[in-house]
Structure 1
């Protein structure tokens, strides 16, 4: 007896869980990170960048102003690009048990741990623009991750 379901209408075997198409495990170390941890890591990195910018501009964090905001954004960009590119994640990522991995160019089954400075810079620039970070795919990869060929996973 033939199945009544039409091909292509049911849940795709290719998408069983975020990261399945990338060859990542469903749970545990190496699985795609959830939104809660990622958001908290971003928030922690932003606070650290604010404190550094405050020290550089000699203004308190709550004072604001154009020169403080610029220093804060530049600090966040530099910190994110360098740490992600060379260490596989920012301070926030480390504290929350996350890391950023570079997917191999050939695709689904493997990855190389180091993102590299160019990948880190591309990713950080797009995070600073915000919109690419909130537009994402089924594997929880924002446009910034897709452009840098990265994915955030649990340690």
Structure 2
């Protein structure tokens, strides 16, 4: 039996992953990533960097993207709650410019896989929310872009 349930979204490549959570009197246990289990589900990404982000309530981070050395991301929340959004920036895609959003929280334990060539942002819905983000490419500060136009549309 796999430790994860995968749900597709209306945008090809964006995936919601729900881990199997084992609760007992001590608390809970879950795998947040298992290369072998992910591969069995057809998720063959190679992560090279982990990021830990803490934000106050109402903070909007993004929309971030790197054209060169694009980053795929596996996003989850370990404290609090965020509204997480991915924007399709693949020019050849039938969903180019479309976005999908999902609420991620420490409570629901859902994870959101965002492949390369997508913009990524989140809005914190609770104070001191903490987000963990695994990436398929390292962060290149000189290549990072933020779409201020998309941020204005968000607001």
Q: Give the TM-score of the pair, scaled to structure 2.
A: 0.27
Higher helix share: 1
* Larger RCO: 1 or 2 (CA < 8 Å, sep 6+): 2
Structure ID, larger Rg: 1
